[in-house]
């Protein structure tokens, strides 16, 4: 028992010495001695550890003295590593062996760092608002670049007979029509001709089968009312696939104002025009950013309407009451499958929709799918008005053999995002 008490005294003295070496003892306690009394108890006098505020003396009972080495060992595991000696932490004379005290290194505070440790500041690495505006002004055209898609070239000649008030159109040929798919690239085509704005009387050419460069060599005749003026007429030639004759399935259109076809000599005017999805003469109707994605494994087609820019407003209409939304129509094999609408946005000509629309579309039908995306103005006391539209699909390539937006969507697994000009 005396040997155990002697070990406890050694432990207490070593702990106090360690605290003094850390500089903590002098901060809280004054100098003093530890006194030992009889076997039954051990007393630490008030002078031994006297804090600057009054503190009671600590008396250790025999039971507490017996358990102190074990409790001290458990509570000091973080400071003292466990002894691995065969004597289980005791010296040859039976006293408790105290391993070296482990003092963790303190982290350096922010004040302890010197400026030369941080290195030099490089302002060019920090993006400021002025720098952001400058880069946006420099790269603005690249960010909002609109890629026009054309789907072939049509060759024709026009002659107007003043005496008979007749318009003669000689349809020659079409070249570089886009392939529809890899399995069946060719298809049957024909041309539909009409005079706008009436659009009631139209003439169709013969059907040329399985040819992406179909020859026609046909002449068509239209009667023209000269009292209405030539500037009010527009000749439109539309190219269709024979199995998908609907207007939204047109391969492309070309528009020629009649005023450009009339000459004093009444000679034929030759034209070579590229085919686009624009079917009506109109000015700048704005631009729309669209993102497309298709996952064959899930058979899911995703259309994201991101934003619209520079929507023209008629004179006399206030922007505060201007309300628009986007209508997306899915067409497959000439039939309307499903129509979705985005929530309307009011009071701006640059609406941000950021609306995602999903369709379940099997891979066997994706090559015959058309997306008709229309920007609509919400009418409160009248029908909603069409402001512009974008038609995408089903053709994968343009006439320049580049991937169309629809083809780019099918060629990869990532979403394809593009700006498109709105048209009618």
Q: What is the tens place of the pLDDT at every residue in 208-252?
A: 999 999 999 999 999 988 888 777 889 999 999 888 767 678 999
Cα dist. 228→25, 194, 231, 237, 276 in Å? 109, 16, 8, 21, 28
- Give the residue with greater pLDDT, 101 vs 22: 22
- Strands, E, within 187-322: which ranges? 189-196, 202-204, 215-223, 234-241, 252-257, 269-274, 287-295, 300-309
Q: What is the DSSP letter of 38?
A: -
Model-level pTM? 0.66
Output the six-digit token pair for 268. 């034929």
Average confidence score pLDDT of the chain = 76
* Residue 7: predicted pLDDT: 61
Residue 46 above 50 pLDDT?
no
Query: 108: part of which helix (H) or strand (E)?
Result: none
Question: Over the range 238-247, which residues count as b (16 or more CB within 10 Å of their CB) and which as e?
Answer: bbbbeebeee
Confidence of residue 265 (pLDDT cuts 50, 70, 90): confident
């Amino acid at each position: 028992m005396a040997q155990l008490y002697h070990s406890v005294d050694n432990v207490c003295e070593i702990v106090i010495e360690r605290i003094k070496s850390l500089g903590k003892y002098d901060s809280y306690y004054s100098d003093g001695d530890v006194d030992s009394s009889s076997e039954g108890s051990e007393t630490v006098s008030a002078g031994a550890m006297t804090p600057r505020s009054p503190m009671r003396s600590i008396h250790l009972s025999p039971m507490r003295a017996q358990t102190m080495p074990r409790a001290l060992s458990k509570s000091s595991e973080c400071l003292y590593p466990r002894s691995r000696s065969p004597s289980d932490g005791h010296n040859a004379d039976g006293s408790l062996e105290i391993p070296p005290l482990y003092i963790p290194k303190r982290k350096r505070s922010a004040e302890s760092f010197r400026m030369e440790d941080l290195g030099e500041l490089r302002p060019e690495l920090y993006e400021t608002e002025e720098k952001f505006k400058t880069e946006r002004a420099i790269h603005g055209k690249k960010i909002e670049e609109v890629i026009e898609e054309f789907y072939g070239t049509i060759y024709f000649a026009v002659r107007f007979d003043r005496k008979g008030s007749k318009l003669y159109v000689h349809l020659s040929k079409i070249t570089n029509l886009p392939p529809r798919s890899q399995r069946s690239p060719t298809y049957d085509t024909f041309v539909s001709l009409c005079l706008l704005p009436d659009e009631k009387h139209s003439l169709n050419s013969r059907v040329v089968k399985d040819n992406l460069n179909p020859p026609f060599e046909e002449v068509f005749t239209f009667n023209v009312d000269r009292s209405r003026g030539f500037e009010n007429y527009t000749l439109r030639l539309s190219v269709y696939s024979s199995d998908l004759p609907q207007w939204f399935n047109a391969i492309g259109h070309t528009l020629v104002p009649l005023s450009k076809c009339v000459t004093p000599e009444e000679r034929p005017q030759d034209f070579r025009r590229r085919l686009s999805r624009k079917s009506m003469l109109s000015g700048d109707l704005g631009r729309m950013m669209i993102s497309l994605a298709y996952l064959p494994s899930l058979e899911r087609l995703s259309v994201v309407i991101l934003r619209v820019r520079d929507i023209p407003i008629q004179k006399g209409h206030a922007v505060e009451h201007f309300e628009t939304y986007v209508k997306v129509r899915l067409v497959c094999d000439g039939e309307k499958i499903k129509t979705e609408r985005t929530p309307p946005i009011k009071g701006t000509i640059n609406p941000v929709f950021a609306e995602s629309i999903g369709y379940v579309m099997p891979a066997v039908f994706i090559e015959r799918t058309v997306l008709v995306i229309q920007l609509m103005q919400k009418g409160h006391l009248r029908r909603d008005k069409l402001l512009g539209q974008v038609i995408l699909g089903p053709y994968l390539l343009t006439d320049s053999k580049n991937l169309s937006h629809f083809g780019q969507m099918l060629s990869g697994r990532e979403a394809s995002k593009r700006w498109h000009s709105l048209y009618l």
